[in-house]
A and B are shown apart, each in its own frame.
Chain A
């Protein structure tokens, strides 16, 4: 079965993921989608990634530059700016801090459900 992810949760961390992936290697829009899918986010759509890239660029966190392509028009590759790298560092710290609190709670063993008792 293909795992699905809560779109709201994903939306919250998508910017962070994009900044991280592009810090590792600059990519163009569709390549970013492919990389996210390869990570396991198989249900992510281009429709959420492309506007997110546009927003990060607009906010000055990503910088786009055109690279000539053999198979068609020049492709727009993105890479983080200094502001983007700073946002990535802060976001990563914030996420890890939150995960450190949330994860142990969610993996704790639940108490056994109460057994049904007969009324006297």
Chain B
């Protein structure tokens, strides 16, 4: 009867599994989850056979294994999209926009309180041209609250167009075409009940 691995062995296995998962970021999520589960199961089986340390060692270089999985998904020579690059682009645009918005609001507030330290009333900030909409600052004795200042559609266009370009998402079209070509084979198999 197989003994369950110790906590340390589980940690060794999980470390390998999640390292691999990080290297498979360019795989579609469903495929990545499937590979991750299968790898974990195989590592547990190997660990019961030769121990967790040796099971992980037998996997070899995880970069090579990940490259193998990516080649299995997209083909040896085919170019593939980079989900990681797309995510970094979206995050970068978000951070830049937050900084720009924060700098603009801070400057506007500094301008109001510099001239009238105990300002009371409503002031309109036109926002960052093309990037944020108008905002209304309501002051009471020098402290303020604000509403408005949403990002304009142009920001979202920049964000997603940037992600599309940096992530080379057009390559997904070729991957989908390839998948559509391969899927009917599997569907036919299931209809026929596997081996005839």
Residues of A at the B interface (CB closer than 8 Å) are 28-31, 33-34, 45-48, 50-52, 54-55, 58-60, 63, 69-76, 79-83, 85
Other-chain residue from B35, B37, B59 in contact with A46 (beta carbon distance below 8 A): B59
Are A70 and B2 CB-contacts (below 8 A) given A79-B194, A81-B186, A81-B195?
yes
Are A55 and B72 CB-contacts (below 8 A) given A71-B2, A72-B41?
yes
Quote the shortest CB–CB distance from A30 to chain B (angstroms).
4
Other-chain residue from B2, B183, B194 in contact with A63 (beta carbon distance below 8 A): B194
Q: Is B106 an interface residue (CB 8 A)?
A: no
Q: How many residues of B contact A (CB 8 A)?
A: 36
A73 and B37 contacting across the interface, CB-CB below 8 Å: yes
Are A28 and B196 CB-contacts (below 8 A) given A70-B2, A81-B186?
no
Q: Is B95 an interface residue (CB 8 A)?
A: no
Chain A interface: which of B45-53, B79-87, B122-130? Answer: B45-53
B189 and A71 contacting across the interface, CB-CB below 8 Å: no
Tell me the dominant secondary structure on chain B's binding face: helix
Number of cross-chain contacts by CB at 8 Å: 102
Residues of B at the A interface (CB closer than 8 Å) are 2, 4, 35, 37-42, 44-46, 48-49, 58-61, 64-65, 68-69, 71-73, 182-183, 185-186, 188-190, 192, 194-196
What chain B residues lie within 8 Å of A85 (beta carbons)? 195
Quote the shortest CB–CB distance from B29 to chain A (angstroms).
16
Are A47 and B41 CB-contacts (below 8 A) given A58-B73, A71-B48, A79-B194?
no
What chain B residues lie within 8 Å of A74 (beta carbons)? 41
B68 and A50 contacting across the interface, CB-CB below 8 Å: yes
A59 to B186, CA, bound (A): 9
Name the CB-closest residue of A to B183. A60
